[in-house]
Amino acid sequence: MDHFQLKDGVLHAENVALPAIAEQVGTPVYVYSRATLERHARVFREGLKDAGKIHLAFAVKSNPNLAVLKILANQGYGADVVSGGELERALAAGMKAEDIVFSGVGKSSAELMLGLDKGIGQFNLESEEEGQMLAEIAAARGEQAPATLRVNPDVDAGTHAKISTGKAENKFGVAIDVAPDIFARLSKLDGLNLRGVAVHIGSQLQKLDPLEKCYTRMGQLVSDLRAAGHTITHVDLGGGLGVPYKPEESPPSPADYGAMIARVTQGWDVTLMFEPGRVIAGNSGVMMTQVIRIKPGVNSDFVIVDAAMNDLMRPAIYDAWHHFEAVRPTGETMTASIVGPICESSDIFAKERDVDRVQTDDFGIFRTAGAYGATMANTYNSRPLVPEVLVDGNKFAVVAERIEPATIMAAEHVPDWLK
Ligand code: LLP
């Protein structure tokens, strides 16, 4: 459920008519709903009510906007971060250091140091080598870094290949069959408090079966590690729950997910940690755009909009579907390809799709753009960096400004020897 609905024939975000935002901020623009973010945060937590002791760490990569992070901090969420930059953001948004988990396959020594400086709650180690590096840095400071070992369970998540992370050939974690040996060696190091294991097999999962298979393997690993004399107090189950991008899709609900977790992890006696991103932020945001003009095509018309692949990259890189709707729908439809102004054929949001009929200057939205939307935007073709707006009831605020090419050019320099 989200708060982007028609009222008197006009799409609103909560109680704000979307054209009011377009008038004031311009387009393209991301619009987030505070009520939807809060609702999703609550529903995810409630889904896990029978899962025992839990720790929720919002996957910052899905939407790192400070205002969004602040909302989640207020909901009692910590953060799953994958870079020093994300770590700084989570802290700046008011998340407590001890609620922050540092994931990521290539943490540098500077980033490990930063995590220790800030006193974060946990490092999820992606390799034995990273564990050794962290142990060395922590021991030199007379500290013990809290850590888990990320395991690659060799499970096919059944999602897009580019967002699958738990197959043996993927770069993430250590293979499950060698995990006990690596765990044993790392647990002897003075600088580490190796207290558990972590896993994450992919994103936008449409079924619970791969997750159940993965978690069952993790349960066996926890038993094996305990049998070998290790103390296991934390298991990080990652993120990955999918969201509906098309109206007819119905991925598992947080309640279904939570029921499976409660069943599979019964008796583990650990703190279960979660790193949800998309399921919280996805349907909490839309990207609004304006039609520049309509151009006839061979198979169908092209609706050329002022948003492009640089603003929302998912269709171009994952062939992702984002539902398009007119902000003032007339009830009529058209078959059209919705494209941006960028000089690439991959700059296409919808191919020969039946959509609400729109005309030049009309506004439209792409739904389910709150996760992996603005965060992946860039300035290709020297376009501005897309702004973000947060709606709360009948008010709204710009929470990320449009960054104009002039600002970006100001950070570029032509060396004297070219002048
Ligand atoms: N934890 C780890 C270690 C991750 O790698 C990810 C996502 C998450 C948690 C959050 O997963 P979620 O709950 O959001 O599925 N850019 C892609 C998605 C990349 C996901 C990367 N890792 C997209 O637009 O679909």
Tell me how crowded residue 169 is: count the other CB atoms within 10 A of its CB.
7
* CB 318 near ligand 1, within 6 Å: yes
* CB 203 near ligand 1, within 6 Å: yes
Tell me how crowded residue 25 is: count the other CB atoms within 10 A of its CB.
20
What span, in angstroms and rounded, lies between the C-alpha atoms of 369 and 163?
17
Q: Are 34 and 390 in contact (CB under 8 A)?
A: yes
**Catalytic residue (one of 298, 343, 414, 418):** 343
Q: What is the pLDDT of residue 144?
A: 98
Kindly give, in sequence order, each residue whose CB lies less than 8 Å from that of residue 8, ignoring residues fewer than 6 positions away.
none
* CB 302 near ligand 1, within 6 Å: no
| Residue 344 among known ligand-binding residues | yes
CATH 2.40.37.10 range(s) for the chain read 4-32+282-409
CATH fourth-level superfamily of 4-32+282-409? Lyase, Ornithine Decarboxylase; Chain A, domain 1 (2.40.37.10)
**Among residues 76, 84, 148, which one has the least CA distance to residue 111?**
84
Q: Hey, what's the torsion of the CAs at 343, 244, 18, 302, to 10 degrees?
A: 30
Token pair of 9, please? Answer: 């024939």
Q: Measured from the CA of 124, which atom of ligand 1 is nearest?
A: 3
* CB 239 near ligand 1, within 6 Å: yes
214 is catalytic: no
Provide the residue-wise pLDDT of the chain in tens; the chain has 419 residues.
899 999 999 999 999 999 999 999 999 999 999 999 999 999 999 999 999 999 999 999 999 999 999 999 999 999 999 999 999 999 999 999 999 999 999 999 999 999 999 999 999 999 999 999 999 999 999 999 999 999 999 998 888 888 778 888 888 999 999 999 999 999 999 999 999 999 999 999 999 999 999 999 999 999 999 999 999 999 999 999 999 999 889 999 999 999 999 999 999 999 999 999 999 999 999 999 999 999 999 999 999 999 999 999 999 999 999 999 999 999 999 999 999 999 999 999 999 999 999 999 999 999 999 999 999 999 999 999 999 999 999 999 999 999 999 999 999 999 999 98
Tell me how crowded residue 177 is: count the other CB atoms within 10 A of its CB.
12
The answer to whether the peptide bond before residue 28 is cis (omega within 30 degrees of 0) is: yes
DSSP 8-state secondary structure symbol assigned to residue 61: G
CA of 317 to the centre of ligand 1 (A): 15
Q: What is the pLDDT of residue 158?
A: 84
Q: What is the pLDDT of residue 297?
A: 96
Which residue, by CA, sits nearest to atom 7 of ligand 1? 203
CATH 3.20.20.10 range(s) for the chain read 34-279
What span, in angstroms and rounded, lies between the C-alpha atoms of 418 and 114?
38
| Residue 77 among known ligand-binding residues | no
CA of 58 to the centre of ligand 1 (A): 10
Q: What is the pLDDT of residue 255?
A: 98
Token pair of 139, please? Answer: 């021991």
At the top level of CATH, the class of 34-279 is alpha beta
Q: What is the pLDDT of residue 40?
A: 98
